[in-house]
Amino acid sequence: MNAWIPVSGLQIAVDGPSGSGKGTIANLLANAIGLPVLDTGLLYRFVGYSAMRGNVTINEEIAILKLLNNCIQDMQWQSGGIFVGGENIADRLRKEDVAAAASCVAAMPEVRKKLLHVQQDIAKNGCVMDGRDIGTVVLPDAQAKFFLTASLRERARRRWAQLQGLGGEVSLEATLNEIRERDRQDAERTHSPLKQAQDAVSIDSTTMRIDEVVERMLAIMARRQLIRAS
Ligand code: DC
């Protein structure tokens, strides 16, 4: 049984840069409250991955859009994953070789527009959603918005540990450089850059344990009567 009961249709937006812990935290929140969870980065990764597999040039927007229109029908979202042909490909999508392609397609306005509808549709009955623009663009009316941060070095360390778990052989320094570059791309792009929503609560998790961050978020939502103990 879940520890908390949400108000009907509760939408929780969790935004932040790569390695801020938002994915892990979104999952823990969703479990505690009994809501579905969507890591929206997986959608951009899915588009980048499909382009890589289909040998579509990654910076040609028209070709990417055509591909997206085709591949989105083959994809199914279920809480915690992206399924193609009945197989959850989330772990494959999270590998480092897909990240750069994802960042490139995420800068394309038409790709964002198309995925915006997919995300809003998924969230309509309540959801925990993590990404970069959830509180600002995808779910501007979400009842709870959080913006997670952590120092670059700590974020690189976390991401590196995660990649080790997925069988990667990349060095910590290379991971740090990639995150720095991705931060720059995500923050500087014209459409939906990474930005804190005005009404989001910001939490710096550099020196906090994951469970402490989750406890703080739950306490904030309980105080606002968005969730109650079961
Ligand atoms: O969080 P992630 O590394 O899995 O995200 C992959 C890419 O997608 C990253 O470059 C940021 C981008 N992204 C985005 O632009 N908007 C989102 N809501 C989620 C991810």
Say if residues 128 and 33 touch (Cβ distance below 8 Å).
yes
Q: Whose CA is nearest to atom 4 of ligand 1?
A: 41
Q: Whose CA is nearest to atom 2 of ligand 1?
A: 41
- DSSP classification of residue 58: T
Q: Render pLDDT for 169-184 as a digit per residue (tens, 0 to 9).
A: 889 999 999 999 988 8
Does ligand 1 come within 6 angstroms of the Cβ of 106?
yes
Say if residues 185 and 107 touch (Cβ distance below 8 Å).
yes
Q: How confident is the model at residue 190 (pLDDT cuts 50, 70, 90)?
A: confident
Alpha-carbon span 198 to 196, nearest angstrom: 6
The predicted model scores a pTM of 0.93
Q: How confident is the model at residue 1 (pLDDT cuts 50, 70, 90)?
A: low
* Helix (H) or strand (E) segment spanning residue 147: strand 144-149
Place of tokens 């042909």: 85
Which of these, 148, 177, 183, lies nearest to 160 by C-alpha position? Answer: 177
For 26, the token pair is 């979104």
Does ligand 1 come within 6 angstroms of the Cβ of 131?
yes
